[in-house]
Amino acid sequence: MFIDFLISKFEILVFISVLLIVIGFFLLFLYQSHKFEINKTLVVNYSEIIKKSNLETKGYLADIASILEIQKNEILKITDKISFLEREINRLGSIKGSEDILGIAIDMARKGEDKESIKNKTNLRDDEIEAIYTYYRK
């Protein structure tokens, strides 16, 4: 009886089944389309956030570059000052060293030592030794 009913209504049952499958696919398509729009909106929002972040990062990097350039210029100025101070220290050291050598030569001349011993100890030129020997010899 039930089988007879199914067989008699077989065409209708197949039609309804196909219709339900088509409606299901249509609803699935609408659901996927809706999800696609949501995902599209999310991707666009994330891309805008990333773009904004990149612009901020670019600004920060530009600021850092300008700060580093200023610091580089300051370091160059300081390096020049240090070089100048080193030259001055060397110059003053050589002046002080030559004053010490002259003082030793004058003391030796006052003590009556000969020109050759003064030259050997101080490594002064002959004209310097002659001047010291002339003015400071006893």
What pTM value is reported for the model? 0.46
Q: Specify the pLDDT at position 74.
A: 97
Domain assignment present for 52: no
Domain assignment present for 83: yes
Q: Is residue 81 over pLDDT 60?
A: yes
Q: Is residue 128 over pLDDT 70?
A: yes
Domain assignment present for 70: no
Which residue range forms the structural domain that includes residue 130? Answer: 76-138
Render pLDDT for 83-115 as a digit per residue (tens, 0 to 9): 998 888 776 666 555 667 778 888 888 888 888
Domain count within the chain: 1
Render pLDDT for 6-48 as a digit per residue (tens, 0 to 9): 788 888 888 999 999 999 999 999 999 999 999 999 999 999 9
Domain assignment present for 41: no
Local structure of residue 112 (DSSP, 8 states) = T
Q: Specify the pLDDT at position 89.
A: 77
